[in-house]
Amino acid sequence: MSYLILPKGYKSALTPDETEKGIKLVKDFFQQSLAKALSLRRVTAPLFVLKGQGINDDLNGVERAVTFPVKDLGDAKAEVVHSLAKWKRLSLAEYKIRSGNGIYTDMNAIRADENLGNLHSLYVDQWDWEKTMSARQRNLGYLKQTVRKIYGSLLDTEQFICTCYPQLRAFLAPRIHFIHAEELLQMYPGLDAKAREDAICKKYGSVFIIGIGGALSDGKPHDNRAPDYDDWSTPNEDGYLGLNGDLLVWNPVLGRSFELSSMGIRVDAAAMRRQLDLSGKQERASLYFHSRLLDGKLPLSIGGGIGQSRLCMLFLQKAHIGEIQASIWPEDQRAACRRAGIKLI
């Protein structure tokens, strides 16, 4: 229950029927806008991968993957994906995607270790995208340019949905503000990372926090990142570490920051070796994905994930992700939501 926010006086602006139609409108419009903005084409993605190849992501390194035996493979274990960051990069190589172009797909996952609440469900759905890039684009300027294009698609989607449903009012800031996690720490030294996110989003509306995963001056990362997909250890032009980040906006319904995307320039061979060493995960170098990258057989890339239910929740101005997707919730949370006027599917 500590992860549940019950906005006082909440009442959905949309009926259940309008909500279902709105979900499709948001998803259809945004993915087309994103594909055009980033020069992406859609591909089909797996729901699960074989265990032990280093293809599945371990996110913060503590989440357990949902695992099951495959009878026709001698009971070899398969894992439901956590995300597709590594699989997408393998696919760029397989499809021979040229620099400046990329792919996107629907990623569906089960994350059994999530703390269930307004923002987190057992079921995760997102647009996973990945784009081939050149060595000269591995810089902070290119990261920011890409973020601005994604944010432009968010603004266009918001305007479209508000046209479809006049009872909704646009609230996104006209521009996104960039700040490094170290600058954010210096700005709010007395706050923890989540409170710093709330403070900066309340101030600017929409924020991209750069440098997620590397240790800051207090000895702790702003948030954890696995060592083998995002580059969080390469110095950037601003004098800080990191070529990745999180895109957050201020959510007026919940009165807090709201993460929409985790993304970044991916590790090259040097960053991979460095981050495996920093994380004490050197043994991963021999895994299928890692050895291909270290052998120079995978393209340089930038990529990320954008939550589908999160985006619908934001633009349809809902208080709980369970108003957007069907999932399982603790009974005390369902009861509390009913009392607060939040109708979970």
Strand order in the sheet with 206-210: 40-42, 102-110, 123-132, 301-307, 256-265, 244-251, 206-210, 177-180
Tokens of 272: 């991979």
pLDDT reported for residue 235: 96
217-252 confidence digits (pLDDT tens): 999 999 999 999 999 999 999 999 999 999 999 999
278 touches 267 (CB < 8 A)? no
pLDDT reported for residue 54: 81
Residue 186 φ then ψ, to 5°: -65, -30
The residue annotated as part of the active site, out of 262, 275, 308, 309, is 262
The residue annotated as part of the active site, out of 83, 89, 91, 111, is 111
- Concerning whether 83 is annotated as a catalytic residue, the answer is no
* 201 CB-near residues (< 8 Å, 6+ apart): 207, 248, 249, 250, 256, 257, 258
Find the range with the poorest average confidence among 50-54, 136-140, 271-275, 330-334: 50-54
For the cut 90, the answer to whether the pLDDT of residue 32 exceeds it is yes
**Full DSSP string of 8-52:** TT---SS-HHHHHHHHHHHHHHHHHHHHHHHTEEE----SEEETT
Percent of the residues in the chain that have a pLDDT greater than 70, as a whole number: 98
Where do we find the tokens 């699960």?
48
Question: What residues form DSSP beta bridges with 309?
Answer: none
For the cut 50, the answer to whether the pLDDT of residue 1 exceeds it is no
Average pLDDT, the chain: 95
Write down the H helix ranges in the chain: 16-38, 85-95, 140-164, 181-187, 193-204, 269-279, 288-294, 308-315, 331-339
The residue annotated as part of the active site, out of 231, 246, 268, 323, is 246
Residue ranges of domains in the chain:
16-47+83-339
The residue annotated as part of the active site, out of 57, 128, 130, 197, is 57
pLDDT reported for residue 91: 96
| For range 107-131, the mean pLDDT | 93
The residue annotated as part of the active site, out of 156, 183, 223, 259, is 259
For the cut 60, the answer to whether the pLDDT of residue 35 exceeds it is yes
* Cα dihedral 322→334→122→314 (10° resolution): 30
The DSSP code for 206 is: E
261-310 confidence digits (pLDDT tens): 999 999 999 999 999 999 999 999 999 999 999 999 999 999 999 999 99
Residue 136 φ then ψ, to 5°: -70, -15
CA distances to 117, 206, 221 from 258, in Å: 13, 9, 19
Structure confidence at residue 212 as a pLDDT band (50, 70, 90): very high
- Concerning whether 246 is annotated as a catalytic residue, the answer is yes
- Concerning whether 279 is annotated as a catalytic residue, the answer is no
- Concerning whether 262 is annotated as a catalytic residue, the answer is yes
* Residue 295 burial (10 A CB sphere; 0-12, 13-18, 19+): exposed
The residue annotated as part of the active site, out of 31, 126, 233, 257, is 126
Grouping H, G, I as helix, E, B as strand and the rest as coil, residue 148 is: helix
| For range 212-221, the mean pLDDT | 96
Grouping H, G, I as helix, E, B as strand and the rest as coil, residue 244 is: strand
User: Fold for domain 16-47+83-339?
Assistant: BirA Bifunctional Protein; domain 2 (3.30.930)
